[in-house]
Amino acid sequence: MRRDALVTAIGALWHDVGKFRQRAYWGEVKKHEAHGVEWLESLLTRVRFLTDGEKRTVLEVVGRHHEADPYERDIRLVQLADHLASGERVRRDEEERGDPSKEPLLSIFTRISLDGAGMGEGERRRWVYSTGRFAPGDAIFPKDSSAAHVDYRGLWNEFERSWLDLGEGSPVFHDPEAFILASVSQLRIHAWCVPSAVYRDEPDISLADHLQVTAALAYCLWDLDDALLDRLGSDPFRDEEVALLVGGDVAGIQRFLYTISSDGAAKALRGRSAFVGFLCDAVAEFVRTRIGIPSCNVLYSSGGHFFMLAPLSAGDKLVEVRSELDDVLLDFFGGDLMVAVDSVPVLGSDLKISPGRGTSPLGERWARLGERLRAAKEMPWREHAVREPERVFGPFGTGGVDECGVCHWEGGQPGGLRRRGIFRSLTGDEEGKCSLCASFEELADKVRAAEYLLVRRAEGSPRGQLEWHTVVRALGFELWPVDGKELGERYREGDVVLRLSAPDLRPVGVNGRTIPVTGFRFLPRATPVEPDGRIRDLDALGRASEGAQYFGTLRMDVDSLGRIFREGFGGRLSLSRMMTLSRMLTAFFEGDVDRMCREDQGERLYLLYSGGDDLLAVGSWDAVLGLAGTIRQTFADFTCRNPAITVSGGAGIHHVKYPVYRAARDAGDFLNRAKELRRPDGRAKDAFGIWGAVVDWDSFWWIRSWQGKIREWIKGAQVGRGFLFKMSRIARLNADLEAELRGRGRWGEKDMERAVRRSRWLWMLVYYMGRESAEVREELERLRTELVAQNRIPHLDLVARWVELSTREVEGR
């Protein structure tokens, strides 16, 4: 990295920190630039890696970034970066002015609108964030504006204390990389809820995101020649290229995760999914370091995807980076996993929003990058196939030998490992796992107990047996999920320590040592364990189910997320909004979903994967259904109940001997069917595929409510189990009638509705329910009314099946 560009980026990262302090001390007659210089000057006295001249440069940038026509290049660069980053702001009405001391941040989710669905202006302004530290749970959920709590003084005091807590010996003050990572982390923790602009602009952009985007742009702009900078200085939003938007996408995840088989597949899947997350981290770091950009330029990395801003000169380096990545992954995985990496140029004009437009220029850039990444994934190993066809097409394996009982690897596949001096072998245990699969299971144990992620630059090429960390090491890094004890044993000076699932940079005290923390990362770890600490297997999860001893699988993801990013903000899509939306979704799926699994179902749920915008969980079948409902309701609250951003799910139920990888595929099929749901009003998706049937979420609540009531009636002997057969028979009669009527072709919906209401099932319903116990007759009358009035008859079969499973008597209980 260029030292002068790095110093400028540091100045840009802090250029508006005075706005945070100004709001904390509102009433003092002092500009935000002066507040920023005053605070930053005290911080920089602790920084050892900057020279006195470089510190003066940083302070000049912070104090003079609003000065007219400055001479110094650093200040001009930060001014330009600030203008480009501020092109995302939406002006308030002329007569309206905000109060910076009291006004909270509007939720990013209120801005989203898709296919005519969205939020009205009054409703949009209602949802805001209280001030407080960034953490999974209530802290990051939007509040009604009348109930939100705003205390910028308290938040600022906590921000200042957090820097004092780091200690003088922290690498944050001795290493520029650690300082930038810690600075971005501290801003994410404390300034995520502070609006970057309030007085004349809509307060929907956080100060943390504005500062990071400005720093990233400033680093990229240093590359431009002075003539272009002069042109941009007079008009920042010209059709001139200013940076590269670089994207990465791990391909083959589904195949990698769901083609394994063994008795311990749940544990193996947990380790594999954790590895995919670590691989994405390592690849993002590999790309970042190879093209020479600081960590503030990484806008997002999670769920198998990453995005970053790079100087235009990085384009040539990306070609080499792709080739190196292909070599490593082809050698280690033989084509099962690959990473697509590509870029598109960003113009100054792309960063100026157009609120009146249906799409934004940046949205079009985003779509173009997505197309390039998809094209790369559809033609993997293209260059290698031309140059070394046998390396891509085989033949592989030796045939007639033992194979791994989990991934079915045969000796000699892939062959590139031999060239690297790495060998993959069978472990020799009863299940005949290969060394890589065995290491994934060990990783699952590590992740369950991990509190920190230790990151180290690797020296030299890996040698010896193939394990998960061998792959990461081949990219130049070592990653170790560790608890406090192991952290004390492994930590060496120069290592980077990230606290897992707890945004907090306080150092760790271990065995008399003080180990610094420089960042944080969310990591889903919900894992059911036995009293002796062993991870529970599927048999145990099945036995813990209510009624039938089956296990369940659940897959969920956000509907139409690609379109939301491209089109959901209309002409208002910006780098900050893109980054905020990504990070908030990551916090939900990696932080809140993990919390829900732990709190709601205890030791009955296994969160195998959750990141980006999707998840896979296995567990007791009834716990899985409970989790689906909880996630959907919580996600609606998290996204301000905006109808434009919804989540769909798919759940299966299986015998404990059913292969987990097939169960995961089944749940994926049910999820895909749910996304095909189309309602009469044209609304799509936002649905749940349960055991092969598809229902909207309102129907799911209805089914869950009535199965709970009827289950209790059966347990209390108020109705017999034969009542379930009657319910199923009525549902089948109704289904047969509807199929017959649809087959007639000329019947309209109204005709069909009248015919159904006069059908045989209705009179059977009256007869059956009238013969049940008087204790429940009033409730049954309500059920009958809802079945007819709300057209719930098609769901009776699901109610009956759910009740039958939950009340099935199990021998030995």
Q: How confident is the model at residue 78 (pLDDT cuts 50, 70, 90)?
A: very high
Q: Residue 682's Cα: distance from chain center in Å? A: 28
DSSP state of 107: P
Q: Residue 488's Cα: distance from chain center in Å? A: 30
Query: Cα–Cα distance between 248 and 690 in angstroms, integer?
Result: 33
* C-beta of residue 306 within 8 angstroms of C-beta of residue 284: yes
pLDDT of residue 412 exceeding 70, the answer is no
Taking residues 562-569, report their average pLDDT: 89
pLDDT of residue 757 exceeding 60, the answer is no
Does residue 780 or residue 351 have the better pLDDT?
351
Query: What residue type is 249 in one-letter code?
Result: D
State the pLDDT at residue 21: 95
Angle in degrees, 0-180, between the axes of helices 176-190 and 207-221, rounded to the nearest 10 = 150
pLDDT of residue 104 exceeding 90, the answer is yes
Query: Cα–Cα distance between 627 and 597 in angstroms, integer?
Result: 7
State the pLDDT at residue 179: 97
The answer for residues whose C-beta is within 8 angstroms of residue 170's C-beta and 6 or more apart is 178, 182, 507, 516, 518
State the pLDDT at residue 760: 54
State the pLDDT at residue 626: 95
Out of 239-243, 417-421, 437-441, least confident range:
417-421
Query: Cα–Cα distance between 442 and 438 in angstroms, integer?
Result: 6
Out of 57-66, 116-125, 205-214, 522-531, least confident range:
116-125
State the pLDDT at residue 592: 93
CATH number for the region 103-127+523-691 comes to 3.30.70.270
- Vertex 210, ends 149 and 501: CA angle to 5°? 65
State the pLDDT at residue 343: 96
State the pLDDT at residue 776: 78
Longest dimension (CA), the chain: 91
Taking residues 732-743, report their average pLDDT: 68
State the pLDDT at residue 216: 97
Q: Which residues pair with 610 in a beta bridge?
A: 615
State the pLDDT at residue 93: 58
- Vertex 382, ends 281 and 408: CA angle to 5°? 65
Neighbour count for residue 641 (Cβ, 10 Å): 14
State the pLDDT at residue 674: 96
Q: Residue 148's Cα: distance from chain center in Å? A: 26
Burial of 110 (0-12, 13-18, 19+ CB in 10 A): buried
Which of left, alpha, beta for 733 (phi over 0: left; psi -120 to 50: alpha)?
alpha
Burial of 799 (0-12, 13-18, 19+ CB in 10 A): buried
Q: How confident is the model at residue 801 (pLDDT cuts 50, 70, 90)?
A: very high
State the pLDDT at residue 487: 95
pTM: 0.91
Out of 276-280, 296-300, 560-564, 760-764, least confident range:
760-764
pLDDT tens profile 364-389: 899 899 999 999 888 877 777 777 77
State the pLDDT at residue 741: 61
Query: Cα–Cα distance between 26 and 198 in angstroms, integer?
Result: 14
Q: How confident is the model at residue 136 (pLDDT cuts 50, 70, 90)?
A: confident
- Select the CATH number that applies to the domain covering 243-393 from these four: 1.10.3470, 3.30.70, 3.30.590, 3.40.50: 3.30.70
Query: Cα–Cα distance between 646 and 632 in angstroms, integer?
Result: 8
* C-beta of residue 703 within 8 angstroms of C-beta of residue 695: yes
Q: Where are the alpha helices (DSSP H) in 379-496?
A: 382-387, 389-393, 416-420, 435-449, 468-474, 484-490
- Across 15-131, the runs of DSSP E, i.e. the strands, are 105-106, 127-129
Out of 164-168, 181-185, 643-647, 789-793, least confident range:
789-793
Average pLDDT, the chain: 87
Domain boundaries, the chain: 3-97+128-239, 103-127+523-691, 243-393, 695-813
Residues 312, 314, 317, 319: is their CA dihedral positive or negative?
Answer: negative
State the pLDDT at residue 184: 97
pLDDT tens profile 487-513: 999 999 999 999 998 999 999 998 888
